[in-house]
Structure 1
Amino acid sequence: MINKLSMLKKQSGMSMLPLLMVILVAVMLIRVATSVVPMYFDDKIVAQVLQNLEESGKITKKMPVRKIRAELQERLTRNRVDISLDDLVVQRRKNSTTLTLTYEQRGGFFANIELAGRFQHQKELTK
């Protein structure tokens, strides 16, 4: 009896159930990361494209909305970002034009469960 008790005291470590739980949590975190990280990379590209619009000289504050959308869509396509510009709002003011882009991206998580991210960017054109 004493031998068994001392043997139990010497044994330590994780049993199978907690080990499986740790593995399950790690797999879920990796899956979330593989769904969410690409959304944020795309968002950084969208922000950079909007920031560089005016600097290229192709976009001015007086351009028609149709041409602004076409140029923006071309730049996003060139950077392999697939978002809809349906929610692009163009506000004209006396001395500037403001572009506001609000969009949502979804990434698959598991079966029919998706993770969604909503992003918004604003750019003021003064030239």
Structure 2
Amino acid sequence: MAVVTRDTRLVGEQRHLVAERLARWGVGSGSSADAVLIVSELLSNAMLYGQSNEIGVSVSSSPRETRIEVDDRTPGTWPARACTTDEDENGRGLLLVKALSDAWGIGRNGALVWCTVATDGAP
């Protein structure tokens, strides 16, 4: 698991690193785009709501799926879905994760969020 410093400017950098890694592994563009967006959402949430200065990010891929884990290292801070209106600009991150992933969940006392995305093209 890579460790990222809690700095929102690093979200874009992590998106590019994940996209490059998935391309090297031969993951198709559809799966890769979904995975990159999910990493961005989960990492942004960890930076906004976590309390640790370090956030763990892990992306792995197999012929069947790409697995993403983001660990904000702040036990007891369970992710919650926000009640949003049509005018709200924020609060839909977990809805996107749910919509784009095949499965997702929360582990480690709420500090880690994981998901899987079906892989089109396989390493």
TM-score normalised over the length of structure 1: 0.31
Higher helix share: 1
Q: Which has the larger radius of gyration?
A: 1
More contact order relative to length (CA 8 Å, sep ≥ 6)? 2
TM-score normalised over the length of structure 2: 0.32
